[in-house]
Amino acid sequence: TQLLEQSPQFLSIQEGENLTVYCNSSSVFSSLQWYRQEPGEGPVLLVTVVTGGEVKKLKRLTFQFGDARKDSSLHITAAQTGDTGLYLCAARRAGGNQGGKLIFGQGTELSVKP
C-alpha cells in the first residue's frame, strides 16, 4: 500500500489547458514537497509547504497543503510543452525522530502536446 497516493498517474493534455495533480494520504505530515523530474535526470525541488492550508505560487504553478496536513495539490494554469515531465510529491511524517526520511508518491507523468 502506497502511503502517499498521487492521482492521476498519467495525464496527457493540450498546450493551454489547466490541470490539477493530487497527493493524498491518511497520515499527517510535518512538511510536503513537490519535485519535477525530466527523463534521464534526478528530481528537482519545486516547492516545500509546511503549514496546513498554505498556498504557494511559482509562476503558473499553484501548490496547496491541506488544512489537516494530509494532502496536497498542484495546479498548473495554461500548461506549456516545457511542463512535460514526472511530478512527484514527497513528505516527512509528523512526530518522532524521522531523520531525513522522505516518503514519495508514485508520481504523475504529464505530457503537454503542442
Partner 1 sequence: NAGVTQTPKFQVLKTGQSMTLQCAQDMNHNSMYWYRQDPGMGLRLIYYSASEGTTDKGEVPNGYNVSRLNKREFSLRLESAAPSQTSVYFCASSLGTMTYEQYFGPGTRLTVT
Contact call for residue 21 and partner 1 (CB under 8 A): no
Contact call for residue 4 and partner 1 (CB under 8 A): yes
CA pseudo-torsion sign 103, 82, 62, 11: negative
Of the residues 1, 26, 40, 95, which one makes contact with partner 1 according to CB under 8 A: 40
Contact call for residue 22 and partner 1 (CB under 8 A): no
The answer to whether residues 107 and 21 touch, using CB atoms and an 8 Å cutoff, is: no
Contact call for residue 25 and partner 1 (CB under 8 A): no
Enumerate the β-bridge partners of residue 35.
45, 88
Shortest spacing between CB 87 and partner 1, in angstroms = 11
Of the residues 7, 8, 9, 80, which one makes contact with partner 1 according to CB under 8 A: 9
Contact call for residue 77 and partner 1 (CB under 8 A): no
Contact call for residue 107 and partner 1 (CB under 8 A): yes
Contact call for residue 33 and partner 1 (CB under 8 A): yes
Contact call for residue 41 and partner 1 (CB under 8 A): yes
12 vs 19: CA distance, rounded Å? 10
52 vs 66: CA distance, rounded Å? 5
84 vs 53: CA distance, rounded Å? 27
